[in-house]
């Protein structure tokens, strides 16, 4: 997570004076989030404007973590992205390009640990695997008890875990299973709460699928995906991340909902780097919707024209499948890449 770079003691990365003043010309590859309100972004290191890899080197974004699956198997691959080319990296005692295996087909990944050096991966077998992806490590680790005598233990989550998201300044992760939102303590590797989807506002016949957490850790957006292709969902659930509920499982995450336009059946979510927008793929209607991350309301993507329009139509390049299924915001948040 590039945002952790602002917490480094030395060398500091100069990126402006506050969250609204990024020096994007000098740091073209990374955008940052303050670790707490009032943090001054002044620093002592300023990469050359022409060196597009400097920002990655200073902020630590020099590795790419990729997940894959084939049938009932899957794994995690690592790539070096610190230079001009992206090079496959070998796991410990394995050839370059080899995958570190997960228990089942890998579904989603989130980076955790003090400096984002751990990859937390959900898989089809209902478990969560944790990998050390720091330089020179590249191996699965036991986050449960760390006792080699017990083998490498994985965290059992439930049926068909999919999306996983880390909180930014609190040691918790949220996981979407077929029936629940599961809360994990990322420091202890323990499950602290299981919240049934029905109690959080998910419509009947839908399941939690993908998750993004706002920069202030106040809320999580979760896509409500319909299991019935003849009855697509149009709902995104917004969870209020209560500290007591996260740490003890007591109470609720206070779910509210926002309805998209038409038969969307929301799937993948992506939060903009500045934390203002949530993009949502609508595979059923072949669109991408945009939500205001602060209010949770549908955003008007073109306020200068009528009528109100909150959803982009996917271009013909998606044919013949016509299914937008992956999202990534541009470095300057000027647009969304859709795959």
Mean pLDDT of 174-201: 94
- Report the alpha-carbon distance of residue 208 to residue 59 in Å, rounded: 32
pLDDT score at 30: 41
- Are 269 and 278 in contact by the 8 Å Cβ rule? The answer is yes
**Which burial class, exposed, middle or buried, applies to 176 when counting CB atoms under 10 A from its CB (0-12, 13-18, 19+)?**
buried
pLDDT of 130 > 70? The answer is: yes
Mean pLDDT of 152-162: 91
Computed over every residue of the chain, the mean pLDDT equals 76
Segment of 59-68, 219-228, 253-262 carrying the highest mean pLDDT: 219-228
- Report the alpha-carbon distance of residue 258 to residue 301 in Å, rounded: 17
* Beta strand spans in 155-205 (E): 155-156, 164-166, 172-176, 180-185, 190-196
- Report the alpha-carbon distance of residue 162 to residue 211 in Å, rounded: 9
Answer with the residue of higher pLDDT: 78 or 38. 78
Quick: pLDDT tens for 21-56.
334 443 333 444 444 444 443 333 343 434 434 443
pLDDT band at 115 (very low <50, low <70, confident <90, very high): low
- Report the alpha-carbon distance of residue 163 to residue 282 in Å, rounded: 16
Query: Among 7-11, 15-19, 207-211, whose mean pLDDT is lowest?
Result: 7-11
pLDDT of 336 > 70? The answer is: yes
pLDDT band at 149 (very low <50, low <70, confident <90, very high): confident
Mean pLDDT of 188-207: 93
- Are 72 and 126 in contact by the 8 Å Cβ rule? The answer is no
pLDDT score at 72: 75
- Widest Cα–Cα separation across the chain: 65
pLDDT band at 318 (very low <50, low <70, confident <90, very high): very low
Answer with the residue of higher pLDDT: 72 or 281. 281
């Amino acid at each position: 997570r590039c945002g952790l770079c602002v917490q480094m003691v030395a060398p500091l990365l100069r990126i402006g004076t506050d969250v609204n003043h990024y020096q994007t010309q000098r740091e073209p590859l990374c955008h940052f989030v303050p670790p707490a309100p009032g943090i001054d972004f002044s620093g002592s290191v300023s990469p050359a404007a022409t060196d597009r890899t400097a920002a990655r080197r200073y902020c630590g974004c020099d590795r790419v973590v990729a997940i894959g699956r084939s049938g009932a198997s899957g794994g995690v691959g690592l790539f070096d992205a610190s230079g001009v080319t992206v090079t496959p990296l070998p796991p410990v005692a394995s050839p370059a390009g080899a995958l570190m295996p997960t228990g089942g087909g890998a579904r989603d990944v989130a980076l955790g640990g003090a400096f984002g050096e751990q990859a937390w991966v959900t898989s089809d077998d209902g478990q969560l695997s944790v990998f050390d992806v720091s330089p020179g490590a590249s191996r699965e680790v036991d986050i449960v008890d760390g006792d080699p005598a017990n083998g490498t233990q994985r965290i059992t989550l439930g049926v068909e875990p999919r999306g996983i998201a880390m909180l930014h300044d609190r040691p918790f992760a949220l996981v979407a299973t077929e029936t629940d939102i599961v809360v994990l303590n990322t420091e202890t590797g323990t499950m602290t709460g299981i919240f049934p989807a029905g109690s959080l506002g998910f419509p009947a016949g839908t399941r939690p699928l993908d998750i993004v957490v706002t920069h202030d850790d106040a809320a999580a957006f979760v896509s409500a995906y319909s299991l019935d292709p003849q009855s697509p969902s149009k709902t995104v659930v917004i969870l209020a991340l209560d500290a007591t509920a996260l740490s003890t499982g007591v109470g609720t995450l206070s779910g509210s909902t926002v309805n998209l336009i038409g038969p969307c059946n929301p799937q993948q979510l992506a939060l903009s780097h500045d934390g203002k927008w949530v993009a949502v793929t609508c595979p059923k209607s072949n669109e991408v919707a945009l939500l205001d991350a602060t209010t949770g309301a549908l955003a008007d993507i073109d306020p200068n024209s009528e009528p109100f329009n909150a959803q982009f139509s996917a271009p013909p390049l998606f044919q013949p499948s016509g299914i937008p299924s992956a999202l990534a915001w541009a470095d300057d948040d000027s647009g969304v890449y859709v795959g």
